[in-house]
Amino acid sequence: MKDFIDELEQNQTLPRGDWITLITNFTPEDAQYLFERARVIQNQHYGNQVFIRGLIEFTNYCKNDCYYCGIRRSNRNAQRYRLTKDSILNCCRKGYKLGFRTFVLQGGEDGHFTDAALVEIVSAIRQEFPDCAITLSVGERSRESYEALYSAGANRYLLRHETYDHAHYARLHPSELSAAHRQQCLWDLKDIGYQVGTGFMVGSPLQTAETLTDDMLFLKKLNPQMVGIGPFIPHHDTPFADQTPGTLSLTLFLLGAIRLMLPKVLLPATTALGTIAENGREHGVLAGANVVMPNLSPANVRENYLLYDNKICTGDEAAESVEHLQQSMQAIGYNIVVSRGDSLNI
Ligand code: SF4
């Protein structure tokens, strides 16, 4: 498989059949070879820097019912909460002092946060923190809504495409949601001028090497500024409670492959990666990732934003532990930096 890895590095893509072969047949030795190449490329563009983003999970209400998600509307056991504008601003203040220069506002699709409400929040953050990037991750909205939020000062938008394959998408979501609409949102966001992040779960139910290949080819086509992938982890209160989780090895392999395919992309070592394995995030960085997103939400709500079981939300995952995070990154030769950390993939 090393030939395929060399070809991927050289051409920054592979023919569809070769992707399928590589994803299906790679060995641990192939993975080590891929990670070495990914680190070289990461270093060429970003040195040994790891960027941090302060994650503020500001609402866990959601009108949608995605089959894999712990905060889906049908989950009556979820303890619902919303943060106020003041509380969100306080998270930003705390984060700024800790060295964060990007705030990520993430939430379910919560009708309480109308365009006007979100514009007010984004404008207030923009005014108080002119040197920071504001990232939104609030799902599918209208183009007008995205435009209003961009005008209010949001710079970046995260919207995982989840799976490119329309039939597979339909197995993970109820019929009112579609892959086509989600992908259109991503094209709209890009067109408006956002730095866009997308991505998918690794090991989601019914995923195949073919659907993963289509995910890789979609990433190549969209050419986003950031790609977030993490293992699927089942949540006990969802229809997928008994499904098998995604693996560390495949997630890491795909992280390395994405670094070769989109050399300058921002690539987070996700919370889900840190949840399925001890030192999962460090493994992620050593496979080519260069972003971590500690949690800046108030401590008393963190455990309620439970998208999947056993999600880590204290310890190094908490924003308060930046110093410790720095130590663990330094131990593997990397350095947390105080920076907006804009993508070089433009
Ligand atoms: S995955 Fe997102 S849109 Fe779907 S139910 Fe969960 S929070 Fe809502």
Among 57, 59, 60, 62, which residue has the most ligand 1 atoms within 8 Å of its CB, making it the best to mutate?
62
Q: Are 175 and 217 in contact (CB under 8 A)?
A: no
Question: Given the CA of residue 63, which atom of ligand 1 is nearest to it?
Answer: 8
Ligand 1 geometric centre to CA of 145 (Å): 18
User: Which pLDDT does position 319 carry in this prediction?
Assistant: 66
User: Could you tell me where the DSSP H helices lie in the chain?
Assistant: 2-11, 16-25, 28-46, 85-98, 115-128, 143-152, 166-172, 179-192, 209-222, 248-261, 271-276, 280-286, 299-302, 322-331
- What is the rounded distance in angstroms from the CA atom of residue 114 to the CA atom of residue 288? 37
Q: Are 205 and 240 in contact (CB under 8 A)?
A: yes
Cross-strand bridge partners of residue 158: 197
- What is the rounded distance in angstroms from the CA atom of residue 50 to the CA atom of residue 339? 10
Ligand 1 geometric centre to CA of 81 (Å): 15
Query: 């730095």: which residue's tokens?
Result: 195
Q: Compute φ and ψ for 238, nearest 5 degrees.
A: -125, 165
SS3 57: strand
Among 64, 137, 163, 178, which residue has the most ligand 1 atoms within 8 Å of its CB, making it the best to mutate?
64
- What is the rounded distance in angstroms from the CA atom of residue 190 to the CA atom of residue 104? 18
- What is the rounded distance in angstroms from the CA atom of residue 29 to the CA atom of residue 245? 23
User: Which pLDDT does position 191 carry in this prediction?
Assistant: 98
Cα–Cα–Cα angle for 284, 287, 289, rounded to 5 degrees = 60
Ligand 1 binding site (Cβ under 6 Å of any ligand atom) = 62, 64, 66, 69, 71-72, 108-109, 139
Tens of each residue's pLDDT in the chain, 346 residues: 899 999 999 999 999 999 999 999 999 999 999 999 999 999 999 999 999 999 999 999 999 999 999 999 999 999 999 999 999 999 999 999 999 999 999 999 999 999 999 999 999 999 999 999 999 999 999 999 999 999 999 999 999 999 999 999 999 999 999 999 999 999 999 999 999 999 999 999 999 999 999 999 999 999 999 999 999 999 999 999 999 999 999 999 999 999 999 999 999 998 888 888 888 999 999 999 999 998 888 878 887 777 777 777 656 566 668 888 899 899 999 999 988 999 999 8
CB under 8 A, 24+ apart: contacts of 177-183: 177/64, 177/66, 177/140, 181/140, 182/140, 183/218
- 145 alpha-carbon distance from chain centroid: 21
